[in-house]
Amino acid sequence: MNELELKNVTKKYGQKTALDDVSITFKTGINALLGPNGSGKSTMMNIIADLISANSGSVFWNGTEISKLGAAFREILGFMPQNAALYKRFSAADNLRYFGKLKGMSEKEIEEIIPKLLEKVNLSDCEKKKFGGFSGGMKQRLGIAVTIMNLPKLVIFDEPTAGLDPKERVRFREILFDLSRDAVVIMSTHIVSDVEMLADNIVMLKSGKVCECGTPEELQQKYNFSNSENRTALENIYMQFFGENV
* In the predicted structure, residue 229 carries a pLDDT above the cut 70: no
pLDDT at residue 9 in the model: 98
For the ranges 121-130, 161-170, 188-197, the maximum mean pLDDT occurs at 121-130
In this predicted structure, the answer to whether residue 169 has a pLDDT above a threshold of 60 is: yes
Average pLDDT, the chain: 91
pLDDT value, residue 216: 87
Q: With 80 as the cut, is the pLDDT of residue 231 above it?
A: no
246 band by pLDDT with thresholds 50, 70 and 90: very low
Which pLDDT belongs to residue 45? 96
- The pair phi, psi for residue 3, each rounded to 5°, is -150, 130
Q: What is the pLDDT of residue 39?
A: 92
Q: For the chain, list the domains and their CATH numbers.
A: 3-76+152-242 (3.40.50.300), 88-151 (no CATH)
- Whether the per-residue pLDDT at 178 is higher than 80: the answer is yes
Residue 208 has pLDDT above 60, yes or no: yes
Mean pLDDT of 233-246: 74
Q: Are 148 and 175 in contact (CB under 8 A)?
A: yes
Q: Looking at 12-26, 52-66, 164-178, which range is the least confident one? A: 164-178
Q: pLDDT at position 228, please?
A: 65
Of residues 169 and 184, more confidence is placed in 184
* Tens-digit pLDDT profile for residues 66-75: 999 988 998 8
Beta-sheet strand order (sheet of 56-61): 16-27, 3-13, 56-61, 64-65
pLDDT digits over 17-44, tens only? Answer: 999 999 999 999 999 999 988 899 999 9
